[in-house]
């Protein structure tokens, strides 16, 4: 697939600049051909990742310009099925082995009955011997290769990689780039951003696209870069790495202007053979380069058609670049013949929504149950808190003199469920969103089955732990046993925890909260405030305020708790004093002004609030993925 972009612009506006818009990529042109390994280079902050995101479609908000595939306007959905994007961060599903991750990818990305080549891919990428290793135990290079392997499962013809070599040592970097070259040689278009590669690495790329200050300052064959710089009067010194040199040139804004004008912001392609231009350009050097490769000569002399250069650049034989430096990555002529590049002519997913749901649910459950440490911590947390609350209010539930302690217990229980469940998604979910965005963008699955699986997968552990906590508290505090009361007690605990979790997910899906510790309690605080104010029933409150207070799920939870403990035909409490005003449960309910509501009504309000939060989370994810 040949990719082309014209007048591509990426504009951002940030709240810091008070909504002022800024062009990060400034109307650049360019084209990347199939079978080529392309490097997008440039100084830090030049706009490399922004350009890659815009070309790949990974970012669409603020992007304008024409994007073409094989000379035709591209259909974004179809293009996404034919391309894949590998992020700079190694986003892999934790707690799965390499083989399991491959199997999940194959089940999601290939239609039923299609031949799966997981083993061959792992073999080719040198991961077969690590197939039973968990993904979080892999080295940086292995993680990068696994990220590529997962996308190779359905063999897309276009690969986008954001800084695939970042964090890798020299040897692993070379291995990684050789692998990419191997993929390109099979007919794929492989485009990656790279940060100032050494000369030996630069030579492995077929094409280079250099960007500085959002503008294209060079586009063309790698071998044509040095002559191009020479042609504009900026000769690369002898023995100087051309990649370093061109980036050093960008320190001077005048050089950026000169180079960008010369290359017409990407309209011109500098070829090592014959130069071609999208639009005819006058006064442009016609570059023709011929190599004189000598076995023993470390350098190549470059000849221009209209002048002879005197400087030399190091030579790397084409065959060398694909050969054996790595024992882990096999030869280009090896068994990868089966890996025919596939194009997709359908926008739909490879599997049905039902299949996606069941595959994702299995994956999530497996990850939850493998997280032994997390499960133990949660179990101990629930038992410890249950026992501590039980000790504080031990056998108090039937004491008619302890009205305020009864209310404290109810508020305490609801706060426990709320805080326990809101913190985890606020802190952890933003990281998962990045991974899901990558998988969703690469058309592994749709958002709906993912979200359904996410909701269902958490239930077994959450419900079990909540019920365990409720049982401990219920029996230690001495609430008189009745099956319906006990069921309602557990139900309220679970619903409050689901509302809080929904709230945490909604926050985590929209914001990449760095200081999540603060935002969790902060988000609960208004609800708590409303709950406390809502209990000042001594005087009647206006209708509007009453409605606002009803939106406090903590208040609903506390009311439902009180109604459960003191309702369900509760007999009068014991009175050890001369007179106990609140010994009769009805008096307490009347005093709190909650005798006209019911547990089921409060539960219904909480379920509605939960649905609102969960819908917000879904909309938040959709919005994040669409931009
Ligand atoms: N969403 C955004 N909001 C505000 N500024 C942005 C946004 N995205 C990118 N930028 C800015 O655009 C510029 C280019 O960013 P980009 O990440 O593309 O650079 P880069 O060339 O990939 O840098 P590096 O090599 O350091 O990763 C930077 O100045 C960055 O701050």
- Model pLDDT for residues 210-219, shown as the tens digit of each residue: 999 999 999 9
Cβ-based neighbours of 183, under 8 Å, separated by 6 or more:
148, 152, 159, 190
pLDDT at 285 over 50: no
- Dihedral sign from CA coordinates of 582, 587, 592, 596: positive
Between strands 308-314 and 299-303, the pairing is antiparallel
pLDDT 10s digits, 163-176: 888 877 888 788 88
pLDDT at 436 over 90: yes
pLDDT 10s digits, 7-23: 999 998 766 555 678 88
User: Hey, what long-range contacts does 60-65 have (CB within 8 A, 24 or more apart)?
Assistant: 60/626, 60/627, 61/626, 61/627, 62/10, 62/11, 62/12, 62/13, 63/8, 63/9, 63/10, 64/7, 64/8, 64/9, 64/11, 65/5, 65/6, 65/7, 65/8, 65/9, 65/27
Domain boundary among 290, 312, 338: 338
User: Hey, what long-range contacts does 221-224 have (CB within 8 A, 24 or more apart)?
Assistant: 221/270, 221/271, 221/272, 221/273, 222/39, 222/272, 223/272, 223/289, 223/291, 223/313, 224/270, 224/271, 224/272, 224/287, 224/289
Give residue 536's pLDDT.
Answer: 52
Nearest CA to ligand 1 atom 18: 47
Give residue 585's pLDDT.
Answer: 87
Cβ-based neighbours of 27, under 8 Å, separated by 6 or more:
7, 8, 9, 65, 265
Structure tokens that stand for 567 in this block: 């309702």
Query: Does 285 share its domain with 411?
Result: no
Query: Does 154 share its domain with 216?
Result: yes
Query: Does 280 share its domain with 394?
Result: no
pLDDT-derived band at 604 (thresholds 50, 70, 90) equals very high
Give residue 347's pLDDT.
Answer: 56
Rounded Cα distance between 105 and 150, Å, is: 6
Rounded Cα distance between 414 and 496, Å, is: 7
pLDDT 10s digits, 57-71: 988 888 999 999 888
DSSP string, 300-336: EEEE-SSSEEEEEEE---HHHHTSSS-SSS--TTSSG
Give residue 532's pLDDT.
Answer: 59
Share of the chain above pLDDT 90, in %: 40
Nearest CA to ligand 1 atom 28: 45
Query: Does 469 share its domain with 437?
Result: yes
Residue 347 lies in a domain: no
Query: Does 77 share its domain with 207?
Result: yes
Share of the chain above pLDDT 70, in %: 82
Give residue 521's pLDDT.
Answer: 61
Query: Does 286 share its domain with 390?
Result: no
For residue 50, which atom of ligand 1 is closest to its CA?
Answer: 18
Rounded Cα distance between 332 and 324, Å, is: 9
Residue 348 lies in a domain: no
Nearest CA to ligand 1 atom 31: 45
Give kind and range of the element (H or E) at residue 220.
strand 215-221
Give residue 274's pLDDT.
Answer: 53
Nearest CA to ligand 1 atom 24: 44
Structure tokens that stand for 234 in this block: 């900026």
Query: Does 95 share its domain with 223?
Result: yes
pLDDT (average), residues 483-495? 95
Instruction: Name the CA dihedral angle for 57, 62, 68, 72, rounded to a multiple of 10 degrees.
Output: 110
pLDDT 10s digits, 24-47: 999 999 999 888 999 999 998 889
Residue 343 lies in a domain: no
Give residue 287's pLDDT.
Answer: 32
pLDDT at 523 over 70: no
CATH of the domain at 74: 3.40.50.300
pLDDT at 196 over 90: no
Pocket test for ligand 1, best of 13, 50, 512 (most atoms within 8 A of CB): 50
Query: Does 111 share its domain with 234?
Result: yes
Q: At what angle do helices 353-370 and 447-477 cross, to 10 degrees?
A: 40
For residue 42, which atom of ligand 1 is closest to its CA?
Answer: 21
Give residue 326's pLDDT.
Answer: 37
* 3-state SS track over 3-27: EEEEEEEEEEECHHHCCCEEEEEEE
Can you give the residue range of the structural domain that contains 463? 353-626
- Dihedral-angle region of residue 560 (phi above 0 means left; psi in -120 to 50 means alpha; beta otherwise): alpha
* Residue that has been written with the tokens 């509760």 in this structure: 570
Rounded Cα distance between 2 and 557, Å, is: 59
Structure tokens that stand for 176 in this block: 């990684």
Domain boundary among 307, 338, 369: 338
Residue 399 carries which DSSP code?
Answer: B
pLDDT-derived band at 520 (thresholds 50, 70, 90) equals low
Number of Cβ within a 10 Å radius of residue 110 = 17
What total number of domains does the chain contain? 2
pLDDT at 538 over 50: no
Query: Does 291 share its domain with 361?
Result: no
Pocket test for ligand 1, best of 9, 10, 11, 12 (most atoms within 8 A of CB): 12
Centre of ligand 1 to C-alpha 41, Å, is 13
For residue 53, which atom of ligand 1 is closest to its CA?
Answer: 18
Residue 470 lies in a domain: yes
- Residues in contact with ligand 1 (CB, 6 Å cut-off): 12, 14, 24, 42, 44-50, 195
Query: Does 330 share its domain with 374?
Result: no
Give residue 588's pLDDT.
Answer: 85
pLDDT 10s digits, 346-369: 557 888 999 999 999 999 999 999
Smallest Cα–Cα separation from 159: which of 139, 169, 145? 145
Query: Does 320 share its domain with 449?
Result: no
pLDDT (average), residues 102-106? 93
Pocket test for ligand 1, best of 10, 44, 45 (most atoms within 8 A of CB): 45
Centre of ligand 1 to C-alpha 211, Å, is 12
Residue 555 lies in a domain: yes
Position with higher pLDDT, 117 vs 133: 133
pLDDT at 153 over 80: yes
Residue 119 lies in a domain: yes
Domain boundary among 310, 338, 366: 338
Query: Are residues 537 and 592 in contact, defined by beta-carbon separation less than 8 angstroms?
Result: yes
Instruction: Name the CA dihedral angle for 527, 532, 534, 539, rounded to a multiple of 10 degrees.
Output: -160
* Residue that has been written with the tokens 């909480």 in this structure: 606
Q: What is the pTM of this model?
A: 0.78
DSSP-derived 3-state class of residue 164: coil
Centre of ligand 1 to C-alpha 61, Å, is 14
Position with higher pLDDT, 482 vs 112: 482
Residue 468 lies in a domain: yes
Centre of ligand 1 to C-alpha 247, Å, is 17
Residue 18 lies in a domain: yes
Query: Does 361 share its domain with 254?
Result: no
pLDDT at 315 over 50: no
Between strands 189-193 and 158-161, the pairing is parallel
Please state, rounded to an integer, the average pLDDT across all residues of the chain.
Answer: 82
**How many Å from the N-terminal Cα to the C-terminal Cα in the chain?**
24
- Burial track 508-521 (b if 16+ CB lie within 10 A, e otherwise): bbbbebeebeebbe
Give residue 450's pLDDT.
Answer: 95
């Amino acid at each position: 697939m040949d990719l082309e972009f014209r007048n591509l612009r990426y504009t951002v506006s940030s709240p810091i600049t008070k909504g002022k818009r800024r062009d990060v990529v400034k109307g650049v042109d360019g084209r990347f051909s199939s079978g080529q390994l392309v490097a997008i280079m440039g100084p830090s902050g030049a706009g490399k990742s922004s350009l890659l995101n815009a070309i790949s479609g990974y970012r669409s908000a603020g992007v304008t310009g024409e994007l073409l595939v094989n000379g035709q306007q591209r259909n974004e959905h179809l293009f996404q099925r034919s391309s894949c994007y590998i992020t700079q961060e190694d986003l892999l599903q934790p707690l799965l082995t390499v083989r399991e991750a491959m199997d999940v990818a194959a089940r999601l990305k290939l239609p039923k009955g299609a031949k799966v080549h997981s083993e061959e891919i792992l073999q080719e990428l040198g991961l077969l011997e690590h197939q039973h290793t968990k993904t979080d135990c892999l080295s940086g290079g292995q993680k990068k290769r696994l990220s590529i392997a997962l996308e190779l499962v359905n063999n897309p013809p276009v690969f986008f990689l954001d800084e695939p070599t970042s964090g890798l040592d020299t040897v692993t970097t070379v291995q990684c780039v050789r692998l990419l070259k191997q993929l390109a040689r099979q007919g794929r278009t492989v485009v990656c951003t790279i940060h100032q590669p050494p000369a030996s690495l630069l030579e492995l790329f077929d094409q280079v696209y250099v960007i500085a200050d959002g503008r294209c300052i060079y586009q063309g064959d790698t071998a044509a870069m040095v002559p191009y710089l020479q042609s504009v009067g900026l000769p690369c010194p002898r023995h100087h790495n051309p990649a370093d040199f061109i980036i050093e040139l960008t320190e001077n804004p005048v050089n950026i202007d000169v180079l960008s004008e010369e290359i017409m912001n990407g309209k011109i392609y500098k070829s090592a053979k014959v130069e071609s231009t999208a639009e005819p350009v006058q006064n442009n050097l016609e570059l023709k380069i011929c190599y004189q490769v000598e076995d023993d000569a470390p350098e190549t002399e470059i000849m221009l058609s209209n002048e002879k250069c005197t400087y030399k650049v190091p030579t790397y034989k084409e065959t060398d670049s694909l050969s054996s430096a790595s024992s882990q990555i096999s030869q280009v002529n090896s068994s990868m013949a089966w890996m025919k590049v596939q194009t997709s002519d359908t926008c739909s997913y490879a599997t049905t929504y039902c299949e996606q749901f069941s595959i994702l649910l299995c994956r999530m459950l497996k990850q939850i149950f493998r997280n032994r440490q997390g499960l133990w911590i949660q179990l101990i947390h629930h038992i410890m808190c249950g026992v501590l609350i039980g000790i504080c209010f031990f056998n108090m539930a039937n004491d008619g003199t302890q009205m305020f302690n009864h209310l404290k217990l109810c508020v305490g229980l609801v706060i426990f469920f709320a805080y326990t469940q809101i913190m985890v998604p606020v802190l952890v979910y933003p990281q998962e969103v990045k991974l899901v965005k990558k998988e969703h963008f690469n058309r592994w699955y749709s958002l709906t089955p993912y979200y359904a699986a996410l909701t269902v997968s958490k239930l077994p552990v959450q419900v079990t732990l909540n019920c365990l906590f409720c049982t401990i508290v219920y029996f230690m505090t001495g609430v008189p046993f009745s099956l319906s009361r006990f069921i309602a007690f557990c139900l309220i605990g679970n619903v409050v925890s689901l509302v809080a979790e929904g709230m945490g997910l909604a926050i985590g899906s929209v914001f990449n909260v760095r200081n999540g510790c603060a935002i969790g309690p902060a988000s609960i605080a208004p609800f708590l405030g409303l709950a406390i104010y809502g209990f000042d029933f001594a005087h009647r409150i206006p209708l509007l305020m009453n409605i606002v207070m009803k939106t406090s799920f903590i208040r609903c939870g506390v009311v439902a708790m009180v109604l459960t403990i003191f309702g369900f035909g509760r007999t009068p409490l014991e009175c050890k004093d001369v007179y106990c005003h609140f010994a009769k449960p009805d008096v307490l309910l009347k005093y709190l002004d909650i005798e006209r509501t019911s547990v089921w009504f409060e539960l219904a309000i909480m379920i509605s609030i939960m649905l609102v939060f969960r819908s917000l989370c879904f909309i938040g994810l959709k919005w994040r993925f669409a931009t």
